[in-house]
Amino acid sequence: MADLPAATEEIAPAALERGRLLFVGSCEFFAGAMTMAQLPPARGPEIAFAGRSNVGKSSLINALTGRKALARTSNTPGRTQQLNFFDLGNGTLTLVDLPGYGYSAVGKAKAAAWTETTRAYLKGRPELLRVCLLVDSRHGLKPGDEDIMTLLDKSAVVYQVVLTKADKTGPAELARVKSATAAALSRHVAAHPVIRVTSSQTASGIAELRAELAALAPATV
């Protein structure tokens, strides 16, 4: 595994507090886009959340923002097929919830349409600072994840793996998945080396992820 110095994963108390303050503030849905033409003008730097359907993406966004139903969970039809834009802290950061992939229930035509818009967004959005690539801590990286990683390598967009549902994974399994993921990431040029381990259920790792994302925003909070 890529042996990272522990310090790179540690977060200073002041940074944790900055993250808490940003995420406790206002957060509003302001646009949904199924096509490139529907993409809203950027309101500020953007962080996108990507992952397979059911990985726990909506739950993570809700946990980060402390809202129960800001991002609709996958069993709620409607918003799940589009890119959803949330304004955090009045233009401080925009969170972009990308459609989940790897699940065939949407039908081929629809899947192709979102793939095209999502890919175009990931390739050509100057305001996109980082992609959080959510991966189920029980399963590790899947082929769909590798596709996105390759695309992001090519477009030089930094992405960070966030392991989800850590409460469902025992320590040995978690260590194994983390280490296999780190090994895979070391082969990708745009991959951020730090893997965050989270549970939306217990909130473990949520404060750290908030801090890390807040650190990407301009220093207004």
139 SS3 class: coil
Minimum distance between the CB of residue 90 and ligand GDP, rounded to whole angstroms? 25
65 binds ligand GDP (CB under 6 A): no
Q: How far apart are CA 65 and CA 63, in angstroms?
A: 5
Q: Which of 54, 81, 155, 179 binds ligand GDP (CB under 6 A)?
A: 54
In 121-203, which ranges are E strands? 128-136, 159-164, 196-197
Q: How far apart are CA 81 and CA 78, in angstroms?
A: 7
130 binds ligand GDP (CB under 6 A): no
Minimum distance between the CB of residue 51 and ligand GDP, rounded to whole angstroms? 6
What DSSP line would sit under 77-104, residue for residue? -SGGGSEEEEEETTTTEEEEEPPPBS-G
Minimum distance between the CB of residue 178 and ligand GDP, rounded to whole angstroms? 16
Burial of 77 (C-beta count, 10 Å sphere; 0-12/13-18/19+): exposed
Q: How far apart are CA 188 and CA 184, in angstroms?
A: 7
The 10 Å Cβ neighbour count of residue 151 is 17
Residues 70-109, mask of contacts with ligand GDP (x by CB under 6 A): ---xx-------------------------x---------
Residue 58 or 82 having the CB closest to ligand GDP = 58
CA-closest candidate to residue 96, choices 11, 193, 218, 213: 213
Q: Which of 98, 199, 205, 209 binds ligand GDP (CB under 6 A)?
A: 199
Residues 131-170, mask of contacts with ligand GDP (x by CB under 6 A): ---------------------------------xx-xx--
Minimum distance between the CB of residue 7 and ligand GDP, rounded to whole angstroms? 26
The residues binding ligand GDP (CB under 6 A) are 51, 53-59, 73-74, 100, 164-165, 167-168, 199-201
